[in-house]
């Protein structure tokens, strides 16, 4: 899908230029990927005294996915689709978490303190038994052979179109030895916060968190080899304030938060392993909140600036090696409006703008908007009216929509830009509520808009019109 070839605009720059048939799946209904999940959550609360209480949260989730996971790649100047299949038997994900919190509400002198002291244990286990269906076709862009199932034409007839089916996949899997891998990650965290009120109209918040991450790496049972183990410790503080300019009506708020993301070691071309520090982000946010007494208008406006440092990038002196001095920023504004002008009528609207740029990166991307940063513009709106009296009491009618701006999937100086097209979706709901039940009829994408959304280098066709009937019982 790279729009540029030798610096000349050759390929499509958005999904609308790919000439894909929205109703053509390029697969077979027998090719399935099934996921089952079991989730448990529990909470234990104790009142320790008039000032302190304890809360213990327990969570575990287990999911298993079986079947054939399909992805597709455009080739031959977007005239063909390379179909790729990975068979999972199975793919498993286990999440386990124990969180202990102690919450206090106390005073020192005339200052009120709302204290939170906590510890968190999190364990993540990811396992796969997987097989890729090999092929011998080469990637047209760079000649690299990649695992593929086959290649079919985007438009018109193809004698191989029906070849991608469960029976053919199973026959190709015969005699293949799957790769069996397992990754385990644990994180132990300690955190504390204190919200104080020095004066009636001023609220201050101070908090800090430290995380100890231990990644045991990935174990390949087929080769009996461990790779990628690493440990990291990260500390992040947060401070904030809220000041009521007009008590119960207009408030000013501001905050600073430091966050982090752990970065795994990278094996380099010379055989060495580069170990990195966590990637840090510093976020500043400020804004205003307004609430009218009778809720004719509730509004909030926030401005934020996020600076990310310590990102890993290719070394400009030696592109086969990696260094950790990349940087980028993300800044923007968000506006949220709500209104209840009369009994039963509710309006809501939101608008968000984001500007992101890579400020320290390789020469091919520096100064550009990073991929996976989402659209620059998004908005949503919704109106709902509930009949409060008369023979129609209990009926509710809602209508709303969402706008999504274009989202970069490819954005480099050498390959050009490929982005999803901007789109707007409209939804509606009709419901009837009584004390014992709620019956709803909802429509998503009611105007049957064709659209593609993106992320992580892929585009995915969105759902067309859906009509859903639901019944909720209040026991």
Domain ranges of the chain: 31-190
pLDDT at 319: 59
Contact yes or no for 163/171 (Cβ under 8 A)? no
Strand partners, 54: 46, 102
pLDDT at 474: 84
pLDDT at 148: 82
Contact yes or no for 452/12 (Cβ under 8 A)? no
CB atoms < 10 A from the CB of 408, how many?
21
Contacts of 157 (CB under 8 A, 6+ apart): none
Q: Decide: helix, strand or coil at residue 15.
A: helix
Between CA 206 and CA 240 the distance in angstroms is 7
Q: Decide: helix, strand or coil at residue 175.
A: coil
User: CA 108: distance to chain centroid?
Assistant: 42
Contact yes or no for 359/328 (Cβ under 8 A)? yes
| Residue of 265, 267, 286, 268 lying closest to 276 (CA atoms) | 265
Between CA 278 and CA 134 the distance in angstroms is 36
| Residue of 242, 313, 236, 240 lying closest to 282 (CA atoms) | 236
Cis omega before residue 90 (within 30°)?
A: yes
pTM given for the model: 0.83
pLDDT at 147: 60
Contact yes or no for 410/3 (Cβ under 8 A)? yes
Mean pLDDT by 10 residues, the chain (475 residues): 62 84 87 94 95 97 93 86 90 96 92 96 92 51 54 84 89 88 93 94 96 89 84 91 94 92 64 69 96 91 93 68 83 97 95 95 89 93 95 95 94 90 97 93 96 86 95 88
What are 307-357's pLDDT values in tens digits? 988 887 766 666 556 777 889 999 999 999 999 999 999 999 999 999 999
CB atoms < 10 A from the CB of 273, how many?
11
Reading the block at residue 102, the tokens are 């102690």
Cα dihedral 102, 107, 112, 116, rounded to 10, equals: -10
The length of the chain in residues reads: 475
């Amino acid at each position: 899908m790279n729009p540029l070839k030798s610096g000349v605009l050759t390929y499509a720059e958005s999904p609308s230029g790919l000439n894909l048939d929205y109703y053509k799946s390029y697969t077979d209904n027998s090719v399935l990927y099934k996921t089952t999940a079991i989730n448990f959550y529990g909470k234990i609360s104790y009142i320790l005294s008039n000032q302190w209480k304890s809360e213990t949260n327990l969570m575990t989730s287990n999911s298993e996915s079986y079947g054939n996971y399909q992805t597709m790649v455009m080739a031959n100047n977007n005239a063909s689709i390379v179909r790729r299949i990975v068979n999972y038997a199975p793919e498993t994900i286990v999440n386990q978490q124990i969180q202990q919190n102690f919450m206090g509400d106390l005073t020192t002198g005339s200052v009120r303190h709302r204290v939170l002291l906590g510890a968190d244990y999190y364990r993540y286990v990811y396992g796969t038994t997987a097989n890729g269906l090999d092929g011998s076709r080469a990637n047209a862009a760079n000649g690299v052979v990649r695992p593929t199932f086959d290649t079919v034409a985007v438009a018109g007839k193809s004698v191989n179109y029906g070849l991608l089916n469960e029976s053919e996949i199973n026959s190709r899997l015969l005699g293949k030895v799957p790769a069996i891998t397992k990754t385990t990650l644990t994180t132990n965290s300690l955190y504390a916060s204190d919200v104080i009120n020095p004066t009636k109209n001023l609220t201050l918040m101070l908090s800090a968190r430290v995380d100890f991450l231990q990644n045991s790496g990935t174990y390949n049972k087929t080769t009996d080899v461990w790779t990628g183990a690493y440990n990291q410790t990260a500390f992040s503080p947060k401070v904030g304030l809220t000041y009521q300019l007009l008590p119960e009506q207009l408030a000013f708020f501001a905050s600073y938060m430091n966050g982090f993301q752990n970065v795994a070691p990278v094996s380099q071309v010379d055989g060495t392993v580069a170990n990195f520090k966590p990637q840090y982000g510093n976020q500043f946010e400020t804004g205003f909140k307004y609430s009218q007494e009778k809720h004719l208008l509730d509004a909030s406006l926030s401005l934020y600036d996020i600076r990310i440092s310590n990102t890993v990038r290719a070394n400009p002196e030696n592109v086969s090696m990696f260094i950790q001095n990349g940087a980028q920023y993300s800044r923007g504004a968000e506006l949220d409006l709500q209104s209840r002008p009369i009994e039963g009528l509710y309006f809501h609207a939101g608008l968000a703008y984001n500007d992101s740029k890579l400020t320290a990166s390789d020469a091919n991307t520096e100064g550009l908007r990073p991929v996976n940063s989402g659209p620059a513009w998004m908005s949503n709106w919704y109106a709902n009216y509930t009949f409060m009296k008369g023979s129609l009491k209990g009926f509710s009618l809602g209508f709303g929509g969402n706008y999504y701006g274009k989202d970069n999937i490819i954005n480099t100086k050498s390959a050009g830009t490929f982005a999803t097209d901007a789109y707007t979706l409209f939804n509606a709901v009709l419901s009837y509520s009584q004390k014992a039940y709620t019956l709803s009829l909802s429509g998503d994408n009611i105007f049957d808009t064709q659209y593609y959304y993106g992320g992580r280098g892929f585009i995915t066709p969105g759902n067309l019109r859906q009509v859903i009937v639901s019944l909720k019982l209040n026991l």
